[in-house]
A and B are shown apart, each in its own frame.
Chain A
Amino acid sequence: MVHAIWLTFRKDLRIEARTRVTVNHVIPFVLAVVMLFAFGLNAESTLLRRATPGLFWVTVLFAAMSIVQRSAAIDRPDGLPDALRLSGLSPTGMYLGKTASTFVQLTITEIVLAAAMVLMYDVRLDGVALIVTAIPLGTMAIAAVGSVYGPLAAGLGGRESVLPLLMLPALAPVLLAATNAFGVAFGTTVGPGWRWVGMLGMLDVLYVAAGSATSAALLEET
């Protein structure tokens, strides 16, 4: 299984390294969103600062749609699904590998996004430890759901646009937990920030378990 994880992970990232879809499409997209929020909220710096935790994670969710869609689409060309089925690799391993590669691409996007927001929204960071823990946990949850629903939607032949309807409600608890953890770290909300981080961890376990359990069925039918 470790072999399957590693192979899938490396394959996905190698394709990304050659085609640079995340770097060329998704990163400029998140920068555009940073600008749009400033326009939409009338460049009010206090408002932007207060809303940054939520804006950050909402932007990440939108960026994740593109990354997940792309990550599922690279396995779609003629005969590839059959080849993957016949490869004899562990379905759970392939699922985890895909989750890992999505995780890496999302993390890169988030680093750029966070830098842009800190510089342009005049954000002051109080609890760095909280942020550094919440980011990977939240990202993991998004990647874990994306690696189930992404391939599932990609198999629908022309109806892939259902992906946001599937993913966004399923990720709403992640948005709540991650935004509130960030809010505490930024000093915009009060409350036990680590409790939200704990919830993110719990969601990670749940999503990864669900994805692993259904991976064989998913591979068979997509």
Chain B
Amino acid sequence: MPNTPLAATTDVAVAPVSTSSRGTRILGALTLVSATVTILYSFWFSKADVELGNTVRILYVHVPTVSIAYLCMLANAVFSGIYLWKRTAFSDLMASATGEIGVLLLGLTILAGMMWGRPTWGTYWEWGDPRLTSTLLLFLMYLGYVTVRNIPAPRSARNTRSAIIGIVSALLIYPVRMSTEWWGSLHQGRTISAPGASKIQGAQEFALYSGFFTFMFLAAWLVIHRFRVGWLADQAEAGQLESVIAERRAESAGDLGLGKVH
């Protein structure tokens, strides 16, 4: 029921018909500028690596996505914990937004890892590599989080369940990494590894840092929008529930035909 269709054009209004605000527009602009710089430095200003050739350009996406994904999972754990303690809608919606965006970034990390592995190791997947294996495991764990989160349920039950999964999953991040590392050391896979930060210099280093900022801005922008969508979805559901209850009440009061006009 769009009661005021004019509100769509005047976005300075208190509640526009979208999830954007001045904050998100600034963040969005920062993301675009930063992305342009990253692309220029990744393809134009930086040279191919001596050892890795052009595949080093994959790392300008791979390394930032995985770092920001871990940051998202950390935020998810913190907000899940706060939810079980304070039970606020804010912490729940923040946990859900960071969880979903974390999964998205983990998925992209795995894809970039596979695309990097093929030309450097000669295979898309290397089970002996703890980074790939542990990322896959975390991806599946947080996919479970997002899946349960999206199952329709009474709100407080849904929130509590996803918070529990968020906390259990976060506790596993370290053991997952440690077990895949020990396991990988048994298999002695190919020994070529991504060059450490110390080996990457100059324009390459700048591309990497610029990538970090790009994905940081991007993730913040996405989290805010996703948070607002989550809020709206809950409000819309509550509104529907209210109108159904009102209808029932009108029916039972016996004034059928008087109270409700569709």
- Interface, chain A (partner B; CB < 8 A): 145, 148-149, 152-153, 155-157, 159, 162, 165-166, 168-170, 172-173, 176-177, 180, 189, 191, 195-196, 199, 202-203, 206-207, 209-210, 213-214, 217-218, 220-222
Contacts and interface: CB of A to CB of B under 8 A. Distances in A.
Nearest to B175: A173
Interface in B154-202: 156-157, 160-161, 163-165, 167-169, 171-172, 175-176, 178-180, 182-183, 186
Contacts of B75: none
5 residue pairs, one from A and one from B, having the closest CB atoms? A169-B140, A221-B160, A173-B179, A169-B141, A221-B157
Contact of B160 (A172, A213, A217): A217
Interface string B78-101: 000000100000000000000000
Contact of B164 (A162, A177, A218): A218
A203 B151 contact: no
Contacts of B143: 165
B253 interface: no
B114 interface: no
B176 A172 contact: yes
A199 B169 contact: no
B14 interface: no
Nearest to B186: A191
Contacts of A220: 160
A156 B140 CA distance: 19
Interface in B29-61: none
A176 B168 CA distance: 18
21 contacts: A145-B168, A148-B164, A153-B148, A155-B157, A156-B153, A156-B161, A162-B147, A165-B144, A166-B165, A170-B168, A170-B169, A172-B137, A173-B176, A191-B186, A202-B175, A207-B168, A210-B168, A213-B167, A214-B164, A217-B163, A221-B161
Contacts of B182: 176, 180, 195-196, 199
Nearest to A195: B182
Contacts of B178: 173, 199
A214 B168 contact: yes
Contact of A176 (B140, B172, B179): B179
A180 B161 contact: no
Interface residues of B, number: 30
Given A149-B165, A162-B144, A217-B84, 12 more contacts: A145-B168, A149-B168, A162-B147, A166-B144, A169-B141, A170-B169, A172-B176, A176-B183, A180-B186, A206-B171, A214-B164, A222-B157
Interface of B: 84, 137, 140-141, 143-144, 147-148, 151, 153, 156-157, 160-161, 163-165, 167-169, 171-172, 175-176, 178-180, 182-183, 186
Nearest to A177: B179
Contacts of B180: 176
Given A152-B161, A214-B164, A218-B164, A180 B183 contact: yes
Contact of A155 (B161, B169, B171): B161
Contacts of B165: 149, 152, 166
Contacts of B147: 162, 165
Given A159-B151, A162-B148, A148 B168 contact: yes
A209 B254 CA distance: 55
A100 B163 CA distance: 24
B179 A165 contact: no
B167 A214 contact: yes
Contacts of A206: 171-172, 175
Contact of A199 (B141, B163, B167, B175): B175
B151 A162 contact: yes
Looking at A149, A177, A221, the one whose CB has the most chain B CB atoms below 10 A away is A221
Given A169-B137, A169-B141, A176-B183, A217 B176 contact: no
Nearest to A199: B179
B140 A165 contact: yes
A193 B223 CA distance: 44
Contacts of B156: 221
B148 to A, nearest CB: 6
Contacts of A191: 186
A156 B158 CA distance: 9
A218 B161 CA distance: 7
A162 to B, nearest CB: 6
Contact of A156 (B137, B148, B175, B183): B148
Contacts of B172: 170, 173, 206
